[in-house]
Amino acid sequence: MNLGSVGEMSNPKVNPNMEYRRLGNTGLKVSVLSFGSWVTFDTQLDNNLALECMAAAGEAGCNFFDNAEAYAGGKSEEIMGNALRELGWDRWSYVLTTKVFWGIHGDTPNMQYTLNRKYLMQAIDRSLERLGDDFVDILYCHRSDPGTPLEETVFAMSEIVSSGKALYWGTSEWSAEEIRGAIEIAERHHLHKPVTEQSQYNLLERKKVEREYARINADFGYGNTIWSPLASGLLTGKYKDGIPEDSRAALADYGWLAGRMTDAEAIARVEKLRPIADRLGCTMAQLALAWCTKNPNVSSVITGASKVSQVVQNFETLDVIPLLTDEVKEEMEAAVAD
C-alpha cells in the first residue's frame, strides 16, 4: 500500500474489496473492518503516528472510526479530532463514533459511572469539543447504569439524537434484557431507539454475541460493532514466547493483560490455529479477523494498531475473508474449543 503524502488523500477510499454492511436495521453503511483508538492512542500513538494509521485505514477503504470519552482520559478524542482535521476528509465520507459512561472528572458527583440526564447532556458536548466536530454519527452508552432509571437514559439519548449532536445511538456491553427494555421504552414513547451494540467478540469469547443476543438480533435486527477481535492480541500468536516489549500487555497501565497473555492453556489453544493460517497463506491475526466477519450479525470489526504496518496487515484481511469456507470456519472453532 502506497500512502504517498498523507495530505494528498482527499477522502477515505471506496475499496471494491471492502464490504460495507448496514448498521443493524438502519440505512447507514459501515466498513466491515474498521479502526479504533482504544489503548493505542496517546499510550502508543502520538498525533503524527495516529494520523498515519488513520490515513492507512482510509486508504484501505475503512469509513468507520471509533473512540470513547474514557480512552486516555479524553486525549484519544483530541488526537483523533486533530488527525481528521489534518487529513481534511469531507465529513460525509466517514463515520465517527464515541462512547460515554465512565467519565473523566475523578470522583465528581454525577460525572462518572452514570447515564443520568445531566451527565449525558454535558458529556456529549465535551466529547464534541475534544473531537472538534459538530456531531458524531453514533453515540454509545459505554456500559449500562443500574443506578439511573432506564427511561431517563433513553429519553436523554433520544434528545441528543434529535438535537443533531449524534445521528444514532447504541449500547456497549449491555445485557439483552437491558437492550430490549430500552427499545420498548423508545417505541412506547416514539423516541429514537438504540440501533447497535458494541461488545467483545472473538474466537475465544463468543457466548454473549452468539447466544444472549440471538433473540435481539432476530426481533430487532440489532447491529454490533465488535471490539477485541484478536482477544487483546492473544489470537495473533505473538505471545507464544512471552510478552513483547512493544505490546499492549507490556504497558504500565495494562498489566492486567499480562496474566491472560501468558496463560499456557490459552496459548496452546491459539497455537492450533497456526497450521490453518499457514495453509491459507495468511497471518494468525488475519485469520482471526476474517472469522469475526463471518457472523452476519456483526456490522463491523473494530481493529487497532500501534504502527502503520499493522494497519496495512489488518486490512489485508480482506483477501483472506473469501478463503474462510464453512469447513475452514468449523475447523478453527474446533481447534480452540475448550
Give the residue numbers annotated as catalytic, written as ranges: 71
Instruction: Return the sign of the alpha-carbon dihedral for residues 242, 244, 247, 253.
Output: positive
**Residue written as grid cell 464534541:** 128
In 3D, which of 127, 142, 318 has the Cα closest to residue 227? Answer: 142
Q: 222 near 216, Cβ under 8 Å?
A: yes
Torsion sign (Cα): 20, 44, 126, 89: negative
Q: What is the SS3 assignment for 70? A: coil
Q: Which residues contact 252 (CB under 8 A, 6 or more apart)?
A: none
Other CB atoms closer than 10 Å to residue 230's CB: what's the count?
A: 23
List, in sequence order, every residue forming a beta bridge with 33; answer none if it has no partner.
301
Contact status, residue 223 vs residue 23, Cβ threshold 8 Å: yes
Residue with cell 463468543: 206
Residue written as cell 477522502? 11
In order of 55, 125, 146, 211, 220, the CA distances from 227 in angstroms are: 20, 25, 23, 17, 21
Q: What's the burial of 305, exposed, middle or buried (CB within 10 Å: 0-12/13-18/19+)? A: buried
3-class SS of residue 46: coil
In the structure grid, which three cell numbers stand for residue 173, read together? 456491553
